[in-house]
Structure formats: C-alpha cells, structure tokens
Amino acid sequence: MLEEQGVGGFTLAECARRAGVSKAAPAHHFGNVHGLLAAIAKKGVDELAERLEEALALVKEGPAQRLRCVARVYVDFALERPERFRLMFGPARPNDQRGETLVASTDCALFILEREVAAVRPDLKNRRAITVFTWSFVHGLAMLLLDRRLARLMDGDHADREALISDAVRLLSF
C-alpha cells in the first residue's frame, strides 16, 4: 500500500481491510498511523542493512570494491522501494500515540558504511567526514535517480542507468 499510494494515501483502515483484520487491530498494535509507519520504516532500515551484509559477503575484491557494493545496494534499494526509502530517510513525522517518533534508526546501515570507509583508508584521520561525504553522495545519487533529475544525462534505458551508477560509484575510491 505504501508503494502504491505513498505516505499521503496510507491509512490504518485500508491496512486493516487488506490484512483482513478489524479496523481497530492496527491501532491496537501500533497506536496510530504514525506508529505503523515507524514500524515500516524500521523494517526498511533492517532490510537495507541485511541486503548490505548479504551483498558484502559475496565481494571477493578489496575494500574499494566493497565500498562500491555498499553504494550500489543503497541505490538499488531506493529504486526498488522508493516510498519506503523516502519514509526511512525523509522528514520526521509526528509522534505516534506512544510518543515514539517516525524517524527510523539508520544506525545499522551507517555502521556498515563507517566500517567500509575505515577499511578503504584505515589511516584516515577525518573518517567521520568521509563517511558523511560518502553517505551524502550515495543518498543524493539515489534521490536524483528517484526524482528523475538525471534524465538529461541518460538515454533512459536500464543499461544506461546502470552504467551511470557504476561510473559515479567508482569515484568513491578516494
């Protein structure tokens, strides 16, 4: 439902209908729509971290290739699940009835990125700044692709998109 209608069209009543449960069931478990969205965002962060670890387990090359892998998985996740991605990393939403905010913990994915940056340059003194730069670069690339802001630079086909992502991510070897 989130991917079909976005956050604006997301309702507890429709979730209950699709799940085949009473209208009160989602509110009982999640407090309100914000609580359910927070749970979806958290699940998305967990899924992203799991995908990152699974992909990294297959990389046999060195640290720079592993960092490229992190970037590719991040961008691919955003393009495959655009509304969940926007929910995970978008603006904060109001608190749910239990006082929890919708801001998903991105610590898992950030920890993986920090670890891979450290492996590329273990002697790097400004590792935190490089981590922020790398995350900003990869997140920005994902958002530009999601919002179709790179159309002028691409032919529009899938292969060209993949080539652009590969070329851009290759720059992350700093």
Domain ranges of the chain: 44-173
Q: Residue 86 carries which side chain, given as an amino acid letter?
A: R
- Tell me the pLDDT tens digit for each residue of 104-155: 566 777 888 888 888 877 777 788 888 888 889 889 989 998 998 887 777 6
CA gap 73, 131 in Å, rounded: 16
Name the pTM for this structure. Answer: 0.84
Quick check: helix, strand or coil at residue 91? coil
Question: What is d(CA 39, CA 15) in angstroms, rounded to the nearest whole number?
Answer: 13
DSSP symbol at 147:
T
* The CATH fold of domain 44-173: Tetracycline Repressor; domain 2 (1.10.357)
Summarised one tens digit per residue, pLDDT across range 21-72 is 998 888 888 888 888 888 888 899 899 999 999 999 999 988 888 888 888 8
